[in-house]
Amino acid sequence: MPQFLFQTDPSQDVASLAVHAALPARPGHYDELRDTADASGATRLREPWPRFFELLGTGGFADLDRRVDVVARQIRENGITYNIYAEANGSARPWSLDLLPFVINDTDWAAIEQGVCQRATLLNRLLADVYGPQTLLADRLIPPALVLGHPGYLRPLRGYAPPGGTFLHIAAFDLARASDGGWWVVSQRTQAPSGLGYLLENRLTISGMFPEAFKELRVQHLATSYRRLMDMLYKLSPGGLSAHTPPRIVLLTPGPYNETYFEQTYLARYLGVTLVEGSDLVVRDKLLYLKTLHGLERVHAVLRRLDDDFCDPLELRSDSTLGVPGLLQVMRAGNVLVANSLGTSFLESPAINGFLPAISRRLLQADLLLPSLPSWWCGEAAAREQVLANLPGAVVKSTYPSNLRGGFEPVIGGAVPPSERDALQARIAANPDAYTIQEYLPLSQAPSWSAGHIVPRAAMLRVFVIADGEGGWNVLPGGLTRIASREQQIVSMQRGGSSMDTWVTTRGAVDTFSMLPAQLRPEDIVPAHRPVSSRAAENLFWMGRYTERAENDVRLANVALTWLNSDEDNAGQLFAAVAALCQRSGLAPAAPTLSVRMFESTLLAELAGEDAQGGVSRNLGALAYAAGQIRDRLSPDHWRLVVTANELFRRMAAGGKDRDAETPATAPDVLRALKNLGMQLSAITGSQTDRMTRDDGWRLLTIGRQIERLSAMAGLLGELFRRNAVLGDSGFNILLDLFDSKITYRAYYPGRQEVPALLNLLVQEPANPRSIACVLSVLRKEVARLPATVAGPATDLLGLLPAEGPGVALTALCQQTQGLYAGVLALCEQLEAAASALSNEISRRYFSHATGYDQTLSA
């Protein structure tokens, strides 16, 4: 940190400190922090920054670097991520948030508010025309080739009239400030605008960093906008607010690999709607349904985050696995509200902007209040010839989405070397429709805190407009401000940019509405029902299985490595049994008989080698995948535990902090890591057991855990008894460790080491949660509570399990035949088969819908 920050005079004006710490904006760019010099020639801060820094104080100013670390830690702990498509593995990076807010005064905001409301009205009327009478196309106010040739114009919706005449329910406008301080509209997002979730997290984080300034500057709150969004969706849904029961609203997501999946899960939880993927929904008789464990439940409204062309593989992209076959048919029948309506994405083309001024004069009889950045579609010859000569002062953009029809990322003409300019012009001339030229606007520079300095970053503001369902609009009083990375002039989160909390100040009263519901009276309380979709149920089931499986693998690896490095004799049948168990679980590859030391080296390599892909790695990955699919159902703490468990294992595989990654892992290194990982998995188990609602989803998670435990116990018991490895001290103790029952055994049978006592505790004892009897008891209880399906009541499944207890008496288990405990081996074989059969039947009844949910579409 610069030295002057630690040697400041406490009486010194903090605004002056900020002026000295702030680097000036680049020439030709509007400076969001520093104003022009006053009469004395001194640089001053724009309002309300002097008051912001005054409230921060000298101590707070010197503390800003620490607060940067706090923000980063908060984001990491809250699991706020953004998927980077540009990276080979499509990895999810922590969301990037700057410490300082982007501040807009109420005068600027009033102009922005009026301008974007006017534009939303204009775009909605434009959509009504192009899907209706098409007078704008007939009168050539917009080229037919631009609209009808755009892949975002959906011909199957020609003549479609959405509920309330509203095509756009949420619209977002990307604004930039010119050097003179005026705002320009650069682009609009009209199909599935992103940012509503991230800006909420930004607000929660940054308002907590500067609580006094947030309150004193009268920053407008956001919750009312989200309440208005839900009110509008209820109002426009089929049946609307007049229905006896509230309409069911779902948020349709492309899935966990989408770049903004975190935001989608966050929004679904915040709004109280069900997060679904296309496979969760089904069309029957021109109605849309959610597939749940209790059967089909009607869906009235879909808040979508899926691009137009993926939404209905029947009438749009036939290769889409993300959408719902028949969705357009349900829309045309007026039986579902889709927000935003399908067919709105062509408005996102930058070429549209060049035609909006004339369209506004036709449809609204008014000029645009917020000007569009001058744009020229190269599909028009006159426009093309006019702008090609001025490429250095322009930005070349794709007319169509960057992933379609030869689309590409924006190119700043001034950054193209003269030697390559002719080639660019040739490409434009060869395929002019695909290119749009937009005037280059030097973006305003927002203040960003970086290592003791305030540095300028190119900024763009995304403003959100929400329909009221009656032809009007509400503007969210804030937005998602994005800033470019150092020296970059194109703002993009995919290119390493960051974000800012957007503070809109007011001189009036601050709306303190909260999304928390109004106080309920006792007579208002009704039984709550949260539907569990079949996909969520399946992922919960496998999350339970993979959590248990990962715990079992960690325990087995711990026991095996501890024993292999002990003074005990580790040869013979016990070694063969341990090796077989490790190979069966994927901790060690199947291989010809190895020496004890070679086997240990193999085990260490699978656990902590550079390319570790053994059972622990595989199961932790599968656990994270299943948890990611149902993230909206998990608490933030629960999700963090899952993420941390994977990070712990990766650090172990990469060498951790205690050794060079080039040095092979030693057993003590790995044992320490396994201990930490085991504690993390215990915490995950605790969250699943103690902090999840006891609905049918949780019941399936519990059943999944118990099925996995039953299968593992039967395998462990069978392998060690098959080789009589339990007859020695080491094998006896290893089996108790693998069942996590050594302390219980010592308490029940102090000083004794006998097979009947061992079998009684591990097989018959109902009070031992690690006994087969207890596992079967839990399974019977939870399976019986599952809902019935078309295949019959859940109690039918109980026939797959032993009728009472383990189904065999202790006397029979203890009898030996030709030196083997035949009763134990037979029981283990029976229980493994029962676990497999029960898992398969649950999957068939609750997760497969080939017979129960056939989609029926009218001709």
- Note the residue count of the chain: 859
Of residues 837 and 58, more confidence is placed in 837
Sequence-separated (6 or more) residues with CB below 8 Å from residue 134:
none
- Shared domain for 477 and 561, answered yes or no, is no
4 pLDDT above the threshold of 90: no
Q: Are 330 and 336 within 8 A, CB to CB?
A: yes
Q: What are phi and psi of 529, to 5 degrees?
A: -135, 115
- Give the pLDDT score at 545: 97
- Which sign does the torsion angle of CA 536, 542, 545, 547 carry? negative
Contact 447, 456 (CB under 8 A): yes
Considering the domain architecture, whether residues 584 and 710 belong to the same structural domain is answered as: no
Tokens 């706020």 correspond to 80
Indicate if 685 and 731 belong to the same structural domain.
no
Q: What is the pLDDT of residues 98-114, one digit of tens each?
A: 999 999 999 999 999 99
CB 83 within 8 Å of CB 261: yes
Examine residue 852 and state whether it is found in any structural domain, yes or no.
no
3-class secondary structure, 505: strand
Query: Which structure tokens are listed for 672?
Result: 């320490």
Q: Are 504 and 477 in contact (CB under 8 A)?
A: yes
Whether 480 and 620 map to the same domain: the answer is no
Query: Mean of the pLDDT values across residues 407-435?
Result: 88
Query: Cα(632)–Cα(635) distance, rounded to whole angstroms?
Result: 8
Render pLDDT for 347-374 as a digit per residue (tens, 0 to 9).
999 999 999 999 999 999 999 999 999 9
* pLDDT above 50 for 24: yes
* 3-state secondary structure (DSSP) of residue 398: strand
- Asked whether residue 125 falls in the same domain as residue 216, the answer is yes
Q: How far is CA 702 from CA 555, 679, 709, in A?
A: 20, 20, 10
pLDDT computed for residue 699 by the predictor: 95
Prediction pTM value: 0.85
Amino acid 7: pLDDT: 44
* In the predicted structure, residue 148 carries a pLDDT above the cut 80: yes
Arithmetic mean of pLDDT, 561-573: 83
Asked if residue 46 belongs to a domain, the reply is: yes
- Would you say residue 747 lies in a domain? yes
Residues 7 and 59 in one domain: yes
- Is position 361 within any domain? no
Domain boundary among 94, 124, 144: 94
Share of the chain above pLDDT 70, in %: 89
Q: Are residues 417 and 475 in the same domain?
A: no
Tell me the residue type at 837.
A
pLDDT digits (tens, 9 = 90+) for 187-224: 999 999 999 999 999 999 999 999 999 999 999 999 99
Q: Is residue 136 located within the same domain as residue 250? A: yes
Task: Tell me: pLDDT of 405 over 80.
Answer: no
Question: Is it the case that residue 664 has pLDDT exceeding 90?
Answer: no
Q: Do 739 and 669 reside in the same domain of the chain?
A: no
Q: What is the pLDDT of residue 79?
A: 76
Residue 853 lies in a domain: no
Picking from 94, 127, 151, the residue at the C-terminal end of a domain is 94
H or E stretch covering 500 = strand 498-504
What pLDDT, in 10s, does the model give residues 734-790? 999 999 999 999 999 998 999 999 999 999 999 999 999 999 999 999 999 999 888
Strand partners, 301: 249, 337
> Minimal CA–CA distance to 104: which of 44, 181, 174, 28?
181
Average pLDDT rounded to a whole number, residues 704-714 = 97
Helix (H, G, I), strand (E, B) or coil at 9: coil
The whole-number average pLDDT for the span 838-851 is 80
Same domain for 449 and 435: no
Mean pLDDT of the region 329-333: 97
- Confidence at residue 15, expressed as pLDDT on a 0 to 100 scale: 80
Report if residue 17 sits inside a domain: yes
Residue-wise pLDDT for 471-512, tens only, equals: 999 999 999 999 998 766 667 665 667 999 999 999 888 887
Phi (first) and psi of residue 683, to 5 degrees: -65, -40
Cβ–Cβ < 8 Å for 108, 82? no
Number of domains comprising the chain: 5
Q: Are 192 and 304 in contact (CB under 8 A)?
A: yes
Residue 514, domain member (yes or no): no
pLDDT at 495: 63
Q: Which residue has the higher pLDDT, 526 or 579?
A: 579
Confidence of residue 658 (pLDDT cuts 50, 70, 90): very low
Domain extent for 282: 102-350+443-453+468-507
* CATH classification of the domain holding 416: 3.30.1490.270
Q: Is 529 inside any structural domain?
A: no
Residue 708 structure tokens: 């996995």
Residues 213, 118 share a domain: yes
Same domain, 79 and 189: no
Q: Which residue has the tokens 């399976």?
A: 783
Residue pair 301/310 in contact (Cβ under 8 Å)? The answer is no
pLDDT at position 242 is 61
